């Protein structure tokens, strides 16, 4: 890495982190002065992220709110994260590489990221005054978890056959669309059952 690690315990300053990210070939998140390299994503992860981003982008075309993919950071206090998808509305920001005011955040969960997404990131994201909705989407099974500020961040779960609404931006879509082309046992079982019903 090209980070300056002169601080004790290999910690670096926020300025060094931000400058390092501009030239690094690998993305890193930043917490408590430490940088953490981000692993590559699976095909299913990319399919889900792409499906969600495309639906949001189509909805918000020519509207004040704007979707961003995983290359734009979120700043929460002194931490920086790369969410899979987020939406920012009417932001007046001088920062080209991060935001502090998303209204909606989507994270696609894997076995390796589950603990971070469900604990550290959830707590950090929900502390943002602007955030209205936090969505966690499983990739190995079918489960869309929606947490809304208006409902006290209580989790609601949606599965194949359900329709889910992202209230922060007024987007409603079938869970099936989120999992289009995704390959896991839940998706296969749902498609097989539907095909059998169509033959009856």
28 and 112, same structural domain?
no
pLDDT tens, position by position, 82-134? 999 999 997 666 688 999 999 999 999 988 888 888 889 999 999 999 999 99
User: How many folded domains does the chain comprise?
Assistant: 2
Model's pTM, two decimal places? Answer: 0.90
**Burial letters 85-117, b for 16+ CB under 10 A, else e:** bbbbbeeeeeeeebbbbbbbbbbbbbeebeebb
CATH number of the domain that residue 156 is part of? 3.90.1570.10
Whether residues 92 and 103 share a domain: the answer is yes
What is the full DSSP assignment across 7-46?
SGGG---HHHHHHHHHH-SS-EEEETTEEEEPPPPPHHHH
The residue segments making up the domain with residue 76 are: 41-199
Please tell me whether residues 32 and 47 are part of one structural domain: no
Q: Please give the C-alpha separations between residue 7 and each of 11, 19, 75, 78, in angstroms, as whole numbers.
A: 5, 16, 21, 16
Please indicate, yes or no, whether residues 84 and 163 belong to a single structural domain of this protein: yes
- Are 109 and 188 in the same domain? yes
Helix (H, G, I), strand (E, B) or coil at 179: coil
CB 178, CB 137: distance < 8 Å: yes
| 122-166 tens-digit pLDDT | 999 999 999 999 999 999 999 999 999 999 999 999 999 999 999
CA distance 140 to 153: 24
Q: What is the dihedral of CA 174, 176, 181, 185, to 10 degrees?
A: 160
Alpha carbon distance 110, 178 (integer Å) = 16
Tokens for 153, please give them. Answer: 């961040």
State whether 84 and 6 are in the same domain. no
């Amino acid at each position: 890495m090209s980070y300056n690690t002169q601080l004790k315990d290999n910690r670096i300053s926020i300025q060094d982190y931000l400058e390092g990210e501009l030239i690094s070939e690998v993305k890193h998140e930043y917490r408590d002065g430490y940088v953490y390299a981000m692993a590559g994503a699976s095909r299913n992860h990319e399919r889900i992220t792409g499906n969600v981003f495309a639906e949001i982008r189509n909805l918000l075309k020519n509207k004040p709110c704007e979707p961003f993919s995983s290359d734009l950071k979120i700043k929460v206090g002194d931490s920086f994260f790369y969410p899979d998808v987020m939406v920012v509305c009417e932001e007046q920001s001088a920062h080209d590489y991060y935001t502090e005011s998303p209204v909606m955040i989507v994270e696609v969960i894997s076995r390796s990221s589950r603990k971070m997404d469900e604990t550290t990131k959830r707590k950090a994201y929900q502390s943002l005054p602007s955030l209205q909705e936090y969505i966690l989407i499983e990739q190995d099974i079918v489960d869309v978890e929606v947490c809304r500020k208006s409902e006290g961040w209580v989790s609601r779960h949606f599965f194949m056959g359900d329709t889910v609404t992202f209230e922060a931006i007024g987007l409603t879509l079938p869970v099936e669309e989120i999992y289009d082309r995704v390959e896991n046992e839940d998706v296969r079982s749902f498609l097989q059952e539907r095909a059998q019903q169509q033959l009856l």
